């Protein structure tokens, strides 16, 4: 299950990216079977010309009990947090023009994530070989109307417990290149 969680983390940040090597070691501490979804935070540093809508990060989990079984699909949303406590410990702004946006599951979504995890753990013990879990994510970006200066860059961090702190997942990645790998939102709506 730990490997599956690492895949979730990478999926949350839109796939193929450059994760700092030191962060890979820290990510080994993340355990999908024990983390509390209510404490999971994803922080995204966006240029001022971009923003996220209310359902900022849409997560899709596709579950198959066996290779020949019907696929079950669950959707979850992480939303921007207005709680200042969620920002504690974030690194300083990597660029002059932009801001950190911290995302979290609300109480109802965290409860749904826990329920899914419990179902998956039960299936793990009962399911025949060939079962699978595929997790994907798509950020719900919008454009503020401003003109970006140079290449828009994005950074991202993950926190799953108060003691752990933030683990950097992206540092100054090309936002347009990341968006190019996401087919769900080819044209950005205006915020």
pLDDT given at position 184: 59
pLDDT given at position 171: 86
Measured from the Cβ of residue 114, the count of other Cβ atoms closer than 10 Å reads 15
Residues pairing with 79 in the sheet: 104
pLDDT given at position 10: 44
**Residues in the chain where the model's pLDDT stays below 70:** 1-21, 25, 94-95, 127-128, 130, 162-163, 181-186
Structure-token match 């969680």, residue found: 5
* Tokens found for residue 25: 């070691």
pLDDT given at position 182: 59
pLDDT given at position 116: 92
pLDDT given at position 9: 47
CA distance 147 to 134: 36
What backbone phi and psi angles, to 5 degrees, belong to 134? Answer: -120, 130
CA distance 3 to 15: 15
Contact 170, 18 (CB under 8 A): yes
Domain map (residue ranges) of the chain: 2-180
Residues pairing with 42 in the sheet: 103, 158
Q: In 3-state terms, what secondary structure has residue 131?
A: coil
């Amino acid at each position: 299950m730990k490997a599956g969680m690492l895949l979730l983390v990478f999926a949350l940040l839109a796939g193929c990216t450059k994760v700092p090597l030191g962060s890979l070691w820290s990510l080994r501490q993340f355990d999908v079977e024990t983390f509390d979804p209510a404490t999971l935070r994803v922080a995204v540093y966006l240029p001022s010309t971009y923003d996220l809508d209310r359902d900022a990060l849409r997560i899709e989990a596709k579950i198959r009990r066996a290779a020949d079984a019907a696929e079950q699909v669950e959707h979850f949303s992480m939303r921007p947090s207005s709680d200042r406590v969620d920002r504690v410990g974030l690194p300083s702004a990597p660029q002059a023009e932009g801001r950190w946006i911290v995302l979290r599951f609300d109480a109802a979504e965290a409860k749904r994530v826990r329920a899914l995890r419990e179902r998956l753990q039960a299936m793990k013990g009962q399911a025949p070989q060939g079962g699978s879990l595929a997790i994907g994510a798509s950020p719900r970006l919008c454009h503020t109307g401003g003109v970006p200066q140079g290449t828009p860059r994005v950074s991202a961090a993950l926190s799953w417990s108060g003691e752990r702190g933030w683990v950097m997942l992206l540092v100054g990645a090309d936002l347009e290149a990341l968006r190019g790998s996401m087919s769900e939102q080819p044209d950005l709506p205006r915020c």
